[in-house]
């Protein structure tokens, strides 16, 4: 039974190993893109000198930090020189589909991009790029080249290499695309068919007016929809307000206790007021005080009466 299981799982293990190898290859994001060994009158470094250079290209669509990577150069077996790309420099982050140059001048004290490696102009040069895990990710053997002639990929990150700088069609491209398209076939064909430019003008005006008309219709429709929604919300609010008023009015009119309305309540209040606060005439156990004209009940009668002279 165990042998049967082993026979089943061995092909799966082999398949996983194959997939992992392919996945590792696809994860390579930086490649050696162009090398110039004999710089006589080509690109200058930041010190204004002409030195050999090595171009690295980020073929991915995300930024890659090559700090910790290694550049190794060898012109003969046993003399490999390694340059460790230092960490802490923000310029070692290569943006998507961009290039970076390393000067092979043997003067690393000049900066991050000045290597300790030197390329031999009279011999073939092997150049290797290692990642931070000391794993070889790309390599190239540069043949003997003349002055200001580079060995570069046909296109950025392409598999094929070619010699550049021998004619105007294949020129050296430091820190830029290896293949530059100078002409657009579609534009050239359109120019051949429309030499005067009338067709281009008509096309441009048609596009502009069509865009303006579309925007006018769009804004008009949106405006009408917005006004309609606003009016609908307003009408709904007014209807709700009127319904609330009518409801309050009905509650006020129909509000009653034991079938009595406001007039009955007013009559009951007046009767209570009369019964509790009015002057009483003749009732039991109620003292009635009534104003009278008796001489004993007035103050002026208590005063001395002056006799009148006749």
pLDDT digit string, tens, across residues 42-59: 999 999 999 999 999 999
Rounded to whole angstroms, how far apart are CA atoms 263 and 270? 11
Triad 265, 269, 275: Cα angle to 5°: 145
Indicate the class that CATH gives domain 26-182: mainly beta
Rounded to whole angstroms, how far apart are CA atoms 108 and 83? 9
Q: Taking the CA atoms of the chain, what radius of gyration do you get in angstroms?
A: 53
pLDDT, tens digit, 9 for 90 and up, residues 264-291 = 778 888 888 777 765 555 555 555 556 6
Does residue 2 have a pLDDT over 70?
Answer: no
pLDDT, tens digit, 9 for 90 and up, residues 202-255 = 888 999 999 999 999 999 999 999 999 988 888 888 888 888 888 877 776 665
Helix (H) or strand (E) holding 35: strand 30-36
Per residue, what are the HEC states of 56-108?
EEECCCCCEECCCCEEEEECCCCCCEEEECCCCCHHHEECCCCEEEEECECCH
Tokens at 240, concatenated:
């709700």
* 42-51 contact pairs (CB < 8 A, 24+): 42/148, 42/172, 42/174, 43/101, 43/172, 43/174, 43/175, 45/103, 45/105, 45/110, 45/114, 46/110, 46/111, 47/110, 49/105, 51/103, 51/104, 51/105
User: Tokens 């190794």 map to which residue?
Assistant: 72
pLDDT score of 1: 45
- What is the pTM (predicted TM-score) of this model? 0.55
């Amino acid at each position: 039974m165990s042998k049967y299981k082993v026979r089943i799982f061995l092909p799966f293990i082999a398949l996983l190993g194959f997939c992992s190898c392919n996945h590792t290859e696809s994860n390579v994001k930086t490649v050696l893109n162009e090398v110039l060994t004999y710089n006589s009158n080509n690109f200058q470094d930041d010190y204004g000198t002409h030195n050999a250079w090595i171009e690295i290209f980020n073929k991915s669509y995300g930024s890659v930090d090559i700090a910790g990577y290694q550049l190794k150069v060898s012109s003969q077996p046993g003399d490999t020189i390694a340059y460790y790309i230092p960490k802490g420099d923000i310029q070692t982050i290569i943006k998507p589909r961009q290039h970076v140059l390393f000067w092979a001048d043997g003067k690393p004290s000049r900066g991050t991009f000045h290597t300790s490696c030197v390329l031999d102009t009279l011999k073939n040069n092997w150049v290797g790029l290692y990642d931070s895990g000391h794993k070889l990710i790309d390599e190239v053997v540069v043949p003997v080249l003349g002055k200001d002639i580079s060995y570069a990929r046909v296109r950025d990150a392409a598999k094929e290499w070619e010699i550049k700088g021998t004619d105007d069609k294949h020129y050296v491209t430091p820190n830029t695309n290896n293949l530059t398209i100078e002409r657009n076939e579609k534009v050239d064909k359109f120019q051949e068919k429309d030499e005067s430019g009338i067709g281009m003008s008509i096309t441009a005006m048609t596009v502009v007016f069509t865009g303006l008309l579309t925007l006018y219709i769009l804004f008009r429709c949106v405006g009408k929809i917005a006004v309609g929604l606003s009016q609908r919300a307003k009408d709904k609010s007014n209807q709700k307000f009127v319904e609330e008023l009518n409801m309050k009015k009905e509650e006020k009119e129909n509000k009653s206790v034991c079938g009595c309305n406001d007039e009955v309540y007013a009559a009951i209040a007046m009767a209570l007021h009369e019964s509790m606060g009015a002057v009483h005439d003749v009732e039991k156990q109620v003292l009635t005080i009534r104003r009278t004209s008796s001489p004993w009940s007035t103050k002026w009668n208590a005063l001395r009466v002056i006799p009148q002279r006749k």
